[in-house]
Amino acid sequence: MIFKKFGVLEFMNAETGVSNSNAHHEKITISAGSLSLDGELVIPPLAAAGLIIFAHGSGSSRFSQRNQHVAQMLQEAGLATLLFNLLTEDEEILDATTRHLRFDINLLADRLRQASKAMSQNEQARNLKVAFFGASTGGAAALVAAAALGARVAAVVSRGGRPDLAGTALSSVLAPTLLIVGGRDEAVMDLNREAYQKLRCEKQLKIIPGATHLFEEPGTLDQVARESTEWFVSHF
């Protein structure tokens, strides 16, 4: 793994109005076999409660505006975040045509495990407990990775995810798991309910009224961030 210091990220705490100008902001390169995956690690000032590793959804990247928004709200609550690309640039170009890599859950889960290993060796993050936040197919990848890592994962949140794609791994997940689904995302809601029944860990299914699959309706993504923050903080 290669770690390169990137600089300092400045953001405003929504509750206190205080600018956190000394947050640790680091550009990360994660080795996945012979491949390299780019990411950004942000650790808020003072002691972070834990580290949330994001698994973005189908056809997305670490630059997803929705995940960036949720990540900033988590940072404001004192949680560290890692957003990284689960696919290389060449893989993203291929997937844009074939659309098969975004559904290769085992591949995506392995990339999450590699990211978790990288963070355990990072000087700034190695003492932080790790949790996963997955969206769409990233939700399934987060659950498969959590099943493989066992007690090393403190919690999992899936936003508009496809936990059904985690298959038999669902019954092996130990990490407390929160499934968040939009109330108007009926097909995905049904898939989440079926997956929920197969989970044997501490779990909760949260329906956000009026929200569709991408949580584009006013206030719905903020609600996702609040629910996620409460879940993570309570399990770190």
Residue 162 near residue 188 (C-beta atoms within 8 A):
yes
Residue 182 near residue 220 (C-beta atoms within 8 A):
yes
Name residue 51's beta-bridge partners: 80, 130
pLDDT of residue 95: 76
pLDDT of residue 45: 85
pLDDT of residue 134: 95
| pLDDT, tens digit, 9 for 90 and up, residues 86-106 | 888 888 888 788 878 878 999
Task: Compute the distance between CA of residue 115 and CA of residue 82 in angstroms, rounded to an integer.
Answer: 9
Q: List, in order of start, the domains of the chain with CATH numbers.
A: 45-235 (3.40.50.1820)
Positions in the chain short of pLDDT 50: 1-20
| pLDDT, tens digit, 9 for 90 and up, residues 109-154 | 999 999 999 999 999 999 999 999 999 999 999 999 999 999 999 9
